[in-house]
Structure 1
Amino acid sequence: MNDAYLVLALRTPVVRAGKEFSRVGAEKLLGLVIDELLERSQIDPARIDHVFAGNAAGPGGNIARVAALSSRLPNSIGATSIDAQCASGLEAIASAARMIRSGEAHAVIAGGVESVSTAPWRMEKQTDPMIQPRLYSRARFTPAPDPDPDMGVAAENIAQRCGIDRARQDAFALRSHQRALQALAQGAFDAEIVAVPTSAGLVVNDTCPRSNLTMKKLQALKPAFVEGGSVSAGNSCPINDGASAVLLVSGQLLEELEIGFALKYVASASGGCDPEVLGLAAVPAFERLARTMGASPLQEDSFIEFNEAFAVQALACLDQLGIDERRVNQQGGALALGHPYGASGAILTTRLFWQARAASRTGQRSIALMAAAGGTGSAVAFESVVAPRTTG
């Protein structure tokens, strides 16, 4: 079995839907990241064996192929799109790593993209031509007539079932913003961001972290999904556009490229839970990951990135896994930075890569955790390595 190494990870800025990227299509966002991966790694584009890309909201079709064709990659390279909802980007990376481990590839680009701004409207097909068509926002996450709660309602279900109050949710959200703002001020994201040209100019920074946010402002917000509930706009992620992708290579190609740092793919796992509390699905995914590895994936100094779609679901999962909430998302999470659905798993991985690269401790573990619509979760583990160098 071959080893798979993640040697470079990049992303666009994450912006609110309908704002800076309102006229930038998904294929353009992801294509820009692919081109920058090729440029910075200096790998011959013809050596890329495949492209995997996650996407959830649209535009539909094989967005991985469309993005690849919009990039500098030759049209002889195949591409596969994955829709695992919020876990799409992470599942794309796991698929790429498995392809390399099986010996079927030496270099694969994988990631995800979401352009809610340009996603098409969806319309039901009516059986009676006299019935007016109805627009809908998403496909069902469960088979009819099973309960199919929207994400916010499912978050409220978690709050009730797990006993997580409003104050704790708001405090978690505020910490996410504070950490993201500190990271932005320190330039922590500069190396990982690919600037995006728009008609209004070049977009170079994330736009969602709020410098004026306070606990008082968070507490003043009304429940957003259920009357009398605890989940508000302040402790929920915004709706976003963005893209992210990584370059994974085999050990043989790693030596050829003479790259000094990489994340070695260790294992991945997925799991499921009751769709009525779909945000808890990261728990069975992590537990399956531990069984696959034969031990806890975590070490004392592990980096952990957990997608914060809602403060309550992050807190509930961390509680059940026995992970201190302050350990995760050291530079802020989706509550502050945003959650471009299909791209988020790849963004978590990009965040892990650059934090681990700064630490540069061989053998240090990095974990990405996701929960997704329908009650599925994904988990991926990496270890930091110093790549061998040739001395020609």
Structure 2
Amino acid sequence: DRVAEQSHARAAAAIAAGRLRDEIVAVPVPQRKGDPVLVDTDEGVRAATTMQSLGALKPAFDKNGTVTAGNASQISDGGSAVVVMSRRAAEQRGVKPLGEFVSYGMVAGPDSASLLHQPSGAITQALARAKMKLNELSLFEINEAFAAVGIASMNDLGISDDVVNVNGGAIALGHPIGMSGNRLALTLLHELRRRGGGVGAAALCGGGGQGDALIVRTVD
């Protein structure tokens, strides 16, 4: 519940400061009557969320469990897109890249219950593939499918939550299935650029017990 409370607080602060504006495309939604409604802000963020309000929710899967609707991600609507090209192609077109792909990791198994630890495993694999060390990464975006995924990932990697999901995570912002991975990478690159550049990792788990990670670097 503490992770969920923090997710909402960080997302609300990011929205208030305009930190998510650069990665959101406003969408006009037609109405049966009147003018279209312009959606330009994530609607699932609840700034007033507290440990007390979260603690009042019933367990979702097991009567003695700790996962509730409050500390699990929202199933939200959303879309995300990127254009990927070589450095040469970007230079030929006069395009200034947002960042560059460094490495990736893909892990799975042995069963679906292992999904809590798969993001950290995928990040570790991506680091090994790039011959990099963990301390070379300055920021992380780890999908909050459940708060427990983030906790397990941080414990596995030995990293602090002050460098993970600094603008809130999927518990607050939502988890549109199929687009979250791309959203994580974009959010990560935008925040790295705001901080003057650097290298970071985005990762998420899958319901079948898999994990995927991407290491990206900003480009001057």
Q: Check whether TM > 0.5.
A: yes
Pick the aligned partner of 1:377 from 205, 211, 219. 211
Contact 2:12–2:47 (CA under 8 A) maintained in structure 1: yes
Q: Secondary structure at the match of 2:78?
A: strand
Shift of 1:384: 1.4
Contact 1:371–1:377 (CA under 8 A) maintained in structure 2: yes
Pick the aligned partner of 1:241 from 64, 70, 77. 77
1:297-308 counterparts in 2 under 5 A? 297-299=134-136, 302-308=138-144
Cα 1:220/1:213, change in 2 over 3 Å: same
Q: Secondary structure at the match of 1:276?
A: helix
TM-score by length of 1: 0.52
Q: Distance in 2 between matches of 1:304 and 1:197?
A: 31
Shift of 1:260: 4.3
Q: Distance in 2 between matches of 1:290 and 1:213?
A: 36
Shift of 1:297: 4.5
Q: Secondary structure at the match of 2:113?
A: helix
| More strand per residue | 1
Q: Distance in 2 between matches of 1:250 and 1:349?
A: 18
1:316-335 counterparts in 2 under 5 A? 316-335=152-171
Contact 1:285–1:379 (CA under 8 A) maintained in structure 2: yes
Answering whether residue 34 of structure 2 is matched by residue 172 of structure 1, we say no
Cα 1:323/1:231, change in 2 over 3 Å: same
Shift of 1:332: 0.4
Contact 1:244–1:346 (CA under 8 A) maintained in structure 2: yes
Q: Secondary structure at the match of 1:207?
A: coil
Q: Distance in 1 between matches of 2:134 and 2:103?
A: 9
Q: Distance in 2 between matches of 1:228 and 1:382?
A: 40
Answering whether residue 173 of structure 2 is matched by residue 337 of structure 1, we say yes
Pick the aligned partner of 2:29 from 170, 176, 198. 198
1:281-320 counterparts in 2 under 5 A? 281-299=118-136, 302-320=138-156
Q: Distance in 2 between matches of 1:229 and 1:270?
A: 29
> Which has the greater radius of gyration?
1
Shift of 1:296: 1.8
Q: Distance in 2 between matches of 1:222 and 1:209?
A: 20
Shift of 1:257: 3.4
Q: Distance in 1 between matches of 2:177 and 2:83?
A: 20
Encode CA deviations 1:238-257: one digit per residue, 9 max, x unaligned: 11110001112211122233
Shift of 1:353: 2.1
Amino acid at match of 1:277: S
Q: Distance in 1 between matches of 2:196 and 2:90?
A: 17
Encode CA deviations 1:289-308: one digit per residue, 9 max, x unaligned: 122112325426x1211000
Answering whether residue 17 of structure 2 is matched by residue 186 of structure 1, we say yes
Residue 49 of structure 2: aligned partner: 213
Q: Distance in 2 between matches of 1:193 and 1:210?
A: 18
Shift of 1:284: 2.1
Structure 2: 5+ residue stretches without partners: 32-36
Amino acid at match of 1:232: T
Contact 1:261–1:360 (CA under 8 A) maintained in structure 2: no
Residue 347 of structure 1: aligned partner: 183
Contact 2:117–2:156 (CA under 8 A) maintained in structure 1: no
Shift of 1:225: 1.1
Shift of 1:315: 0.3
Deviating more after overlay: 309-318 vs 248-257: 248-257
Q: Distance in 1 between matches of 2:58 and 2:42?
A: 26
Amino acid at match of 1:238: Q
Aligned residues, how many?
Answer: 214
Q: CA RMSD in A?
A: 1.5
Q: Distance in 2 between matches of 1:236 and 1:254?
A: 39
TM-score by length of 2: 0.91
Q: Distance in 2 between matches of 1:311 and 1:188?
A: 23
Answering whether residue 190 of structure 2 is matched by residue 359 of structure 1, we say no
Q: Distance in 2 between matches of 1:179 and 1:268?
A: 27
1:1-392 counterparts in 2 under 5 A? 170-200=1-31, 201-273=37-109, 274-299=111-136, 302-361=138-197, 364-386=198-220
Cα 1:359/1:254, change in 2 over 3 Å: farther
